[in-house]
Amino acid sequence: MAFEVESRHFGEVVVLAGKAFADQRGYFMETYREDQFLELGLPGTFVQDNHSYSKKGVVRGLHFQWDPPMGKLMRVTRGAAFLVALDLRLGSPTLGKWVGIEATAENRKQVWAPASFARGFCALTDDAEVQYKCTGIYNSKAESAIRWNDPAIGIEWPIRDVIISEKDRNAPGLAEWLASPDARHFTYPAQAAGA
Indicate which residue of 9, 32, 63, 185 is catalytic.
63
Is 63 part of the annotated catalytic residue set? yes
CA 44 and chain centroid, separation: 17
Q: Which amino acid is at 98?
A: W
Is 27 part of the annotated catalytic residue set? no
3-state SS, residue 158: coil
**Residues 31, 37, 132, 27: what is their CA dihedral angle, to the nearest 10 degrees?**
-10
Indicate which residue of 9, 32, 132, 185 is catalytic.
132
- Distance separating alpha carbons of residues 18 and 21, to the nearest angstrom: 10
**Residues 123, 72, 108, 121: what is their CA dihedral angle, to the nearest 10 degrees?**
10
Give the residue numbers annotated as catalytic, written as ranges: 63, 132
